[in-house]
Amino acid sequence: MTMDSDGKRAAVLKMLSGYHSSSRLTESQINAYHQAMEGRSLDAVRRACQQFFDGNVTGHDNAFLPTVPELAAKAREWDEAISSITTDRVLEQLVSYPIGGRPPPGYIALGEFEERRKKLADEARAIEASKIKPALKRMDEQ
């Protein structure tokens, strides 16, 4: 799995953990949620999952898990919103600087960005290990 894939899976598992009925989900059903997030940005998946987790999805009955298509649609909405906002900003913020040099103040080098992503992915894996795996084990024991 890639870092993005791990982060998406952690976001989905966190969202699912917020619903009592998630204890009856099979690994195959959990994988369906994860597979539906392919092609979506990590940020969009996190935001969509958090929105369901927080109960902030208009028209969704918070007593029930979102369906796979509902989560996919919400992630797609977030991707579209993020894309429309950030595309122009990213292009405006691209700067050049000498190879081996430091970027100007307020900018980060691409390698530093990857290091931050790796750190976030490691934190997501730690969350999954400490909270989700025991829950899945309990489901298996039932």
**pLDDT tens-place string over residues 73-131:** 999 999 988 887 766 655 566 667 777 787 777 776 666 667 777 887 888 777 767 76
Say which residues have a Cβ less than 8 Å from residue 44's Cβ, sequence separation at least 6.
Answer: 75, 76, 78, 79, 82
What is the pLDDT at residue 3? 73
Question: What average pLDDT score do residues 8-23 get?
Answer: 89
121/140 Cα distance (integer angstroms)? 26
Name residue 98's amino acid: P
Task: Give me the chain's average pLDDT, please.
Answer: 82
Least confident of 1-15, 41-55, 60-74, 114-128: 114-128
What angle, rounded to 10 degrees, do the helices at 3-17 and 110-127 form?
40
Q: What gap in Å lies between CA 38 and CA 89, rounded to an integer?
A: 25
Instruction: Count how many domains the chain has.
Output: 1
Higher pLDDT, 59 or 141: 59
CB neighbourhood size of 48 (10 A) = 27
CA distances to 23, 33, 96, 113 from 139, rounded to whole Å, are 6, 18, 52, 37
Percent of the chain with pLDDT over 90: 42
